[in-house]
Amino acid sequence: MPDPKAAQLPGRHIRIPNLQKDRQGTLRLMSWWDHERVSRARVMVVGAGALGNEVLKNLALMGIGAIFLIDRDRIEAANLSRSVLFRERDNGRLKTEAAAEAVRDLHPEVRLRTFDGDVVHDLGLGVFRRMDVIIGCLDNREARLAVNRACWKVDRPWVDGAIQELFGVARVFVPGDGACYECTLSEQDWVMLGQAHPCKGIAVANILLGKVPTTPTISSIIAGFQAQEALKLLHGMKDFVLSGRGLIVNGLTNEIYTTRFLPKEDCDSHWRYGEVTELHDARAASFTGRDLFARVGKDLGTPCVVELDRELIVELECFACGTRSAVAKPRARITEAEGRCATCGELQEPTTTHAWRGDEGYLDRPLADIGVPAGHILAARGPNGRAFYELTGDMPGLLGEVLE
């Protein structure tokens, strides 16, 4: 039966649409439906696999105005049995490319932009900042943690989905309203994160192959709840959103229930940036660390510090033969070959940093060369306080028509 609370949904007078000509005509029959809000909405979808396909399909059918899609993989034959937007002819194509083509067929007026890369390392915070809702369709903890921290920094809600075989969960995380994703992590989760294991309970062989066994049915179910929660967030239905909670679906026993997660006071994700200063002429590919320090020093005084939200390896040292080499790259971007000494082949020990003080020699290089993604936001502090600087010059190239 309908929930009695449904009577409390925001409503308005209904105008009967022309169902012969209006694609969203049936949706407009709902008293609370705000077509203008939906058509203006910007939604990021992280991942274009089984869940991402279903989420994108739902967003397109609902007429979401702008979608930003990020994924780094190509389609393989195994994707075709559980991805509604992909066809046999798409095998080998970028997932973002094929998914975007299908979404435009479903919703010709959509303003859609794709990004082929890794959400953990390649996507700047400025993109998150311009979204209304982020939907995570991911298969590993590292990416979820990165999305969670990014959303907290720029105060944006996100909807997480996870699936395995006949089981799934949809969760909503709203900064400042209940637990976040990091709050839900157990000690075992952190162990698996340290080992770069994607999903709990998956066999090592499957992890190494990058496979998470699922059915197309559980993808549809969880993605349906994800899109529905995003829709409620867009309509401001705070009392009806699963904020800080999870909806668990056991497809084997046909049980569905919700659970509430407890927030942790000392959670590292609970840090929100303040007002962001937009640097409209700054692009990661040309704006140097030295340029950034000139602006920070002018605003905050000297000495000043730029705080990094990722670990930077500045030097590698071989304890076996004494060879040392300057690096200035994020840890995640160091290959195994680079990690070995060019002289003797032994693994080298890294010297790392999480901050710049302005005297580092590599700051003469463009920010992109030292691991700062396009459109990123960097935190800085000095005698006159703290500030946050966005590489806004990258936004038109990253988001294009999504900004319209």
- Confidence grade of residue 223 (pLDDT, cut at 50, 70, 90): very high
Nearest to 241 by CA among 133, 136, 131: 133
Task: Reply yes or no on whether the pLDDT at 7 is more than 80.
Answer: no
- Confidence grade of residue 330 (pLDDT, cut at 50, 70, 90): confident
The pLDDT value given to residue 12 = 60
**AA letter at 199:** C
SS3 367: helix
Q: Is the dihedral of CA 350, 375, 174, 196 positive or negative?
A: negative
* Degrees to nearest 5, angle at CA 18 with 17 and 20: 145
| DSSP annotation of 340 | B
- Confidence grade of residue 196 (pLDDT, cut at 50, 70, 90): low
Inter-residue contact 112 to 96 (CB < 8 Å): no
The pLDDT value given to residue 26 = 80
pLDDT tens-place string over residues 293-323: 999 999 999 999 999 998 899 999 999 999 9
The pLDDT value given to residue 335 = 83
Task: Reply yes or no on whether the pLDDT at 266 is more than 70.
Answer: yes
Residue 309: CB partners within 8 Å, gap ≥ 6? 149, 153, 379
Adjacency order of strands within the sheet including 42-46: 111-116, 66-71, 42-46, 133-137, 158-164, 167-173, 245-250, 255-260
CB atoms within 10 A of CB 298: 11
**Angstrom distance (rounded) from CA 368 to CA 333:** 12
The pLDDT value given to residue 28 = 79
Q: What DSSP string describes 196-211?
A: T--STT--HHHHHHT-
SS3 350: strand
The pLDDT value given to residue 38 = 95
The pLDDT value given to residue 3 = 52
Percent residues over pLDDT 70 in the chain? 91
Residue 30: CB partners within 8 Å, gap ≥ 6? none
SS3 35: helix
| Alpha-carbon dihedral angle through residues 215, 218, 220, 224, given to the nearest 10 degrees | -160
Task: Reply yes or no on whether the pLDDT at 287 is more than 80.
Answer: yes
The conformational region for residue 276 under phi > 0 = left, psi -120 to 50 = alpha, else beta, is beta
- 187-196, 223-232, 386-395: the lowest-pLDDT one: 187-196
Nearest to 357 by CA among 376, 390, 380: 380
Q: What DSSP string describes 215-231?
A: -HHHHHHHHHHHHHHHH
- Confidence grade of residue 207 (pLDDT, cut at 50, 70, 90): very low
The pLDDT value given to residue 203 = 32
The pLDDT value given to residue 205 = 35
pLDDT tens-place string over residues 106-156: 999 999 999 999 999 999 999 999 999 999 999 999 999 999 999 999 999
Alpha carbon of residue 329 to chain centroid: 22
**Angstrom distance (rounded) from CA 251 to CA 45:** 25
Domains and CATH numbers, the chain: 34-260 (3.40.50.720), 276-403 (no CATH)
The pLDDT value given to residue 338 = 84
The pLDDT value given to residue 6 = 47
- 43-52, 186-195, 385-394: the lowest-pLDDT one: 186-195
**Angstrom distance (rounded) from CA 222 to CA 170:** 6
The pLDDT value given to residue 57 = 98
The pLDDT value given to residue 27 = 83
CB atoms within 10 A of CB 294: 12
| DSSP annotation of 386 | E
Task: Reply yes or no on whether the pLDDT at 77 is more than 70.
Answer: yes
The pLDDT value given to residue 97 = 97
In Å, how far are 48, 234, 267 from 403, measured between CA atoms?
21, 17, 33
Please state at what angle helix 216-234 crosses helix 50-62, rounded to 10 degrees: 40
**Angstrom distance (rounded) from CA 275 to CA 290:** 22
Inter-residue contact 314 to 327 (CB < 8 Å): yes
- The pair of structure tokens assigned to 297 is 């020093």
Count, in order, helices (H) and strands (E) of the chain: 12, 14
The pLDDT value given to residue 58 = 97
Cis bond before residue 303 (omega within 30° of 0) = yes
Enclosing H/E stretch for 275: none
